[in-house]
Amino acid sequence: MTVPRLGHPNVGLGVGLRGAHFPYILRNEPDVDWFEIISENYMDSHGRPRYVLDQIAERYPIVMHGVSLSIGSTDPLDFEYLAKLKKLAGEVDAAWISDHVCWTGVAGLNAHDLLPIPYNEETLAHLVSRIRTVQEVLERPLVLENPSSYITFADSTMTEWDFITQMAEEADCGLLLDVNNVYVSSVNHDFDPAEYLRSIPTERVVQFHLAGHTNLGTHLIDTHDGQVIDPVWELYRQAHELTGGASTLLEWDAKIPEFPVLHAEVLKAQRFIDGHTSVESAASVDETQTSSNKTVPQPATFITAEVE
Amino acid sequence: MTFQPRELGRIQQWMQSVITHPDGVRAGIDSGAARGEIDVAVSDIEQVVSRSQALTSIERLEVYGNAYFARLLECLADEFQAVGHAVDEEVFTGFAFGFLQTYPSTSYTLADLGRRFPQYLEEIRPDRKSSEEPDWADFLIDLAKLERTYSEVFDGPGVEGEPLLSPGDLQAIPPNQWPLVKLQPVPCLQLKTYRFPVYEYASAVRQETDPTPPPAEPTHLVITRRDFIVRRKAVPSTQFALLQQLVEGATIGDAIATVAATIDGSLEQFAEELRGWFENWATAGYFRQVDLPDATLIHPQRQVKLGVRDLRL
């Protein structure tokens, strides 16, 4: 029987570490439980980003969340990248390392997007094999997140939740359940998000993600640019109940607010951890539609230089 | 008959060709690169990508196509803020669009995305008019080079936390050894020459003061990093030439002799200015240590009081 959360602790309610908040965090040492970093922003850093990370890692648990592992690509795995990932994980004592069930490019290119794969037996075998290799290199279980997606393939023969379940079981990896992504994809692909939650192996869920998204009327875009809406909180409530709880992280990557606003948003999760069953008044954020054509799905993770 | 899915590699090559096509996903589907992988026409696209209740397959693919360019354009605009300010949004978008087609990302990190952007601007610059005077294109190219250097110095190797060479350390050099001494520059030190005072323009953009492009003026810039912030200082050409000699590994004596040979004016004035220059460079943290000719090193904090005044050309 699998140990809940693959044996990882529930480190509480955390937020994504972003450059805009470096000064606030160093100055105020906010009472946040943990931070998640975008791995690629720190793997090669010899400057301020890495300096800040080292200080934060002395005070807070750190989780590494990558966007370029490209576990689903048919390009060869990048072992130099994996070595850097492993090195950084050791240096900041990362609680775990996560990335996405996706591919980011092929033929040597990187689209810097989390691109979907068809869900069938061939792609399942491909991913399981690569996850096992990555786990051998990293010498730890990999934790993989369900991405938001905007297309489905005619070559898929199974649902995303069946695919992820079989992938996690066969590769013996962990899951990062992004409940906002489940919601976004459920609207985009016309499925029941509650069925998704009920179907995945809950004991393998190491972490949750929460985020805001953009409603374009006909579909949703995972923009990470606002508050979590009530239907997503309801999914979080259900996921918490099904799993018994796991480390929870809020992502906010565009129109980034002041740190206290960010922190307050993730703290809303506490009422569901405390057993409240009503979403109303927890967030009271209604979904509004926008017609903006400038919606960019995350990740966009560039840190700009500071110049005198 | 058993369902035989397409090979994953073909689907990925196809999708990448489709969503990165400069003329949109319809043109991408019809492109030779895509049809070489999956030979499907736009009208039959549902054989590859399913539709949803609200969107057609093409509309769904367009989410990825739009996002590909929009995301990377956003990153380039963040890195090259001053270039973006100097041209209107449409022109910058055109630069970025062309750049991404010529030099698509091959790195796991977005920090590498803009590495060849200055080179790309050089490659697409209009033909020079008969005049040798720097023109508008040169201004944009120099701005891009400066902003890329800022990025690389900001997150590259630095010396924060290490003791650096101080004016006092320079004074500790035995007078008879001055000419044979070499100075080790800090790894973040960059010496750059531009055709315009682009550093002033770039700083004004960052301070949101809406600058106008300056006239051409050769500008020698020393760029380094202290306390994790990029520092830049314009210096006169003689001082810059001497720094270049030192950074390239010349002894102080050889460096001074080389630069002195190029001076048209007063050598006495040059000699008088040297002491101040060395002190300023040490104060600014351009050098980490002194290499003495007998291979012993003078590190910061190992001080023997001897005067730089004893230096003679």
CB A223 within 8 A of CB A254: yes
Place of tokens 């023109």: B135
Query: Quick check: B241 contacting A, CB < 8 Å?
Result: no
In angstroms, the CA B151 to CA A304 distance is 7
Residue B79's closest CA among B157, B148, B153?
B148
Name the residue among A48, A73, A108 with its Cβ closest to that of B154.
A48
Question: Does the pLDDT value for residue B299 go beyond 70?
Answer: no
Query: Quick check: A149 contacting B, CB < 8 Å?
Result: no
Question: Does the pLDDT value for residue B307 go beyond 50?
Answer: no
Tokens of B57: 């397959």
Do the strands B190-194 and B297-298 form a parallel or antiparallel pair, or are they unpaired?
Answer: unpaired
Do the strands A174-178 and A205-211 form a parallel or antiparallel pair, or are they unpaired?
Answer: parallel
Residue B304's closest CA among B131, B175, B134, B154?
B175
Lowest-pLDDT choice from A89-93, B226-230, B237-241, B267-271: B267-271
Tell me, what DSSP letter sits at residue B298?
E
Q: Which residue has the higher pLDDT, B156 or B132?
A: B156
In angstroms, the CA B187 to CA B153 distance is 9
Query: Quick check: A123 contacting B, CB < 8 Å?
Result: yes
Give the pLDDT confidence score for residue B303 in this predicted structure: 36
Residue A177: pLDDT band by 50, 70, 90 thresholds? Answer: very high
What is the tens place of the pLDDT at every residue in B87-138?
Answer: 999 999 999 999 999 999 999 999 999 999 999 999 999 988 777 889 999 9
Name the residue among A47, A108, A307 with its Cβ closest to that of B155.
A47
Tokens of B232: 């830049």
Tokens of A152: 């489905």
What is the tens place of the pLDDT at every residue in B39-79?
Answer: 999 999 999 999 999 999 999 999 999 999 999 999 999 99
Query: Quick check: A76 contacting B, CB < 8 Å?
Result: no
A252 φ/ψ angles, rounded to the nearest 5 degrees: -145, 105
Residues linked to residue A152 through DSSP beta bridges, in sequence order: B50
Name the residue among B47, B68, B79 with its Cβ closest to that of A304.
B79
In angstroms, the CA A134 to CA A172 distance is 12
Name the residue among B3, B105, B228 with its Cβ closest to that of A51.
B228
Place of tokens 């320079």: B170
Name the residue among A51, A109, A297 with its Cβ closest to that of B106.
A109
Q: Chain-centre distance of CA A263, in angstroms?
A: 17
CB within 8 Å of A59: residues ≥ 6 apart? A29
CB contact under 8 A, A151 and B8: no
CB contact under 8 A, B106 and A113: no
**Please, which contacts does A52-58 make with residues 24 or more away whose CB atoms are closer than 8 Å?**
A52/A22, A52/A25, A52/A26, A53/A17, A53/A92, A54/A91, A54/A92, A55/A26, A56/A17, A56/A25, A56/A26, A57/A92, A57/A93
Give the pLDDT confidence score for residue B273 in this predicted structure: 92
- Interface with chain A: mutation pick from B153, B155, B199, highest number of A CBs within 10 Å: B155
B210 Rama sector, left if φ>0, alpha if ψ -120 to 50, beta otherwise: left
Average pLDDT value for residue range A43-51: 96
Q: Which residues of A64-96 are buried (b: 16+ CB within 10 A; e: fewer)?
A: bbbbbbbbbbbbeebeebbebbbebbeebebbb
Percent of chain B at pLDDT > 70 equals 93
CB contact under 8 A, B109 and A150: no
Do the strands A220-221 and A214-215 form a parallel or antiparallel pair, or are they unpaired?
Answer: antiparallel
Query: Quick check: B151 contacting A, CB < 8 Å?
Result: yes
Predicted TM-score (pTM) of the model is: 0.91
Q: Which residue has the higher pLDDT, B294 or A48?
A: A48
CB contact under 8 A, A308 and B231: yes
CB within 8 Å of A115: residues ≥ 6 apart? A72, A102, A103, A104, A105, B12, B15, B64
Lowest-pLDDT choice from A134-138, A279-283, B140-144: A279-283
Average pLDDT value for residue range A17-27: 95
What is the tens place of the pLDDT at every residue in A203-243?
Answer: 999 999 999 999 999 999 999 999 999 999 999 999 999 99
In angstroms, the CA B255 to CA B293 distance is 15
In angstroms, the CA B114 to CA B233 distance is 24
Per CB-CB distance under 8 Å, the chain B contacts of A155 are 5-6, 11, 48
In Å, how far is B69's CA from the nearest CA of chain A? 9
Per CB-CB distance under 8 Å, the chain B contacts of A218 are 54-55, 59
Give the pLDDT confidence score for residue A286 in this predicted structure: 55
Residue B311: pLDDT band by 50, 70, 90 thresholds? Answer: very low
C-alpha gyration radius of chain B: 27
Tell me, what DSSP letter sits at residue A244?
T
Question: Does the pLDDT value for residue A54 go beyond 50?
Answer: yes
CB contact under 8 A, B13 and A81: no
Residue A123's closest CA among A147, A146, A103, A148?
A103
Lowest-pLDDT choice from A108-117, A278-287, B150-159: A278-287
Give the pLDDT confidence score for residue B300 in this predicted structure: 57
Query: Quick check: B157 contacting A, CB < 8 Å?
Result: yes
Give the pLDDT confidence score for residue A91 in this predicted structure: 98
CA B195, B154, A88: angle at the middle one, nearest 5?
A: 150
Question: Does the pLDDT value for residue A301 go beyond 80?
Answer: no
Residue A224's closest CA among A289, A162, A294, A295?
A295
Helices and strands (H and E) in chain B: how many: 13, 7
The angle, 0 to 180 degrees and rounded to 10, between the axes of the packed helices A121-138 and A79-91 is: 50
CB contact under 8 A, B71 and A112: yes
Judged by DSSP in three states, A16 sits in strand
Query: Quick check: B70 contacting A, CB < 8 Å?
Result: yes
Name the residue among A45, A50, A297 with its Cβ closest to that of B67.
A297
Place of tokens 């994790």: B228
What is the tens place of the pLDDT at every residue in B185-208?
Answer: 999 999 999 999 999 999 999 999
Nearest chain A residue to B56 by CA: give it. A151
Query: Quick check: A267 contacting B, CB < 8 Å?
Result: no
Give the pLDDT confidence score for residue B296 in this predicted structure: 55
Give the pLDDT confidence score for residue A280 in this predicted structure: 63
CB contact under 8 A, A155 and B48: yes
Per CB-CB distance under 8 Å, the chain A contacts of B105 are 105, 109-112
Nearest chain B residue to A102 by CA: give it. B12
Average pLDDT value for residue range A182-191: 98
